[in-house]
Amino acid sequence: MTTVHDFIARTLEGNEQSLGDHRGKVLLIVNVASRCGLTPQYTALEALQKRYAPRGFAVLGFPCNQFGGQEPGTETEIREFCTLNYGVTFPMYAKVDVNGDGTAPLFAHLKSAAPGLLGSESVKWNFTKFLIDREGRVVRRYAPTDSPEGLAQDIEALL
């Protein structure tokens, strides 16, 4: 069975990284954007990272420019924005497409494993969140407007 650990992603710094490097951790994979009304969620995502990282948790951010062109920057600009404005320390990856013909394989897997409302596989907007267990299995999808703070109980259950 395919798990999140089977995928490779490019970091913001341009390095290929196996998501298997996160094996044994509970993950929250989020498609993010710097110019979105939901961008302030970075604060809460970073708070989750700091609170739960010592127990084997990580947020993984995947910038996406497919929704209203809300992530137009380069990887360097994205890194600077996230660091300077939100103090992001969690792993950030290069921009990906989450819908359409160019959908990143990881997101194709996430969408298939955890469809949205009424079985729709499309990601509806930035800050859609996918919770992954320690074995790399997709546990749940959360809507863009679901607050990261509201996921704490589900994260705790997997830790």
Structure tokens, 44: 């809460």
The predicted model gives 85-106 an average pLDDT of 96
Write out the H or E segment, with its range, that includes residue 88: none
pLDDT at residue 71, rounded to an integer: 95
Count of the separate structural domains present in the chain: 1
Reply yes or no on whether the pLDDT at 154 is more than 90: yes
pLDDT tens across 28-73, in order?
Answer: 999 999 999 999 999 999 999 999 999 999 999 999 999 999 999 9
pLDDT of residue 115: 84
Please report, for the domain that includes residue 124, its CATH number: 3.40.30.10
* Mean pLDDT, the chain, whole residue set: 95
Q: What is the pLDDT of residues 8-40, one digit of tens each?
A: 999 999 999 999 999 999 999 999 999 999 999
* 3 state SS of 74: coil
Query: The domain containing residue 44 runs over which residues?
Result: 4-158
**Is 36 noted as a catalytic residue in this protein?**
yes
CA 76 to chain centre: 18
35-41's contacts with Cβ under 8 Å and 24+ in sequence apart are 35/69, 35/70, 35/71, 35/72, 36/67, 36/68, 36/70, 36/71, 36/125, 36/126, 36/127, 38/125, 38/126, 38/127, 38/144, 38/145, 39/126, 41/127, 41/147, 41/148
Please count the other Cβ atoms lying within 10 Å of the Cβ belonging to residue 143. Answer: 12
pLDDT in tens, 111-122: 999 887 767 788
Q: How far apart are CA 29 and CA 110, in angstroms?
A: 9
pTM given for the model = 0.96
Catalytic residue among 30, 36, 58, 123: 36
pLDDT of the residue at 136: 98
Q: What is the pLDDT of residue 7?
A: 98
Of the pLDDT bands very low, low, confident and very high (cuts 50, 70, 90), residue 109 is: very high
- 67, 98 Cβ separation under 8 angstroms: no
Residues belonging to the chain:
159
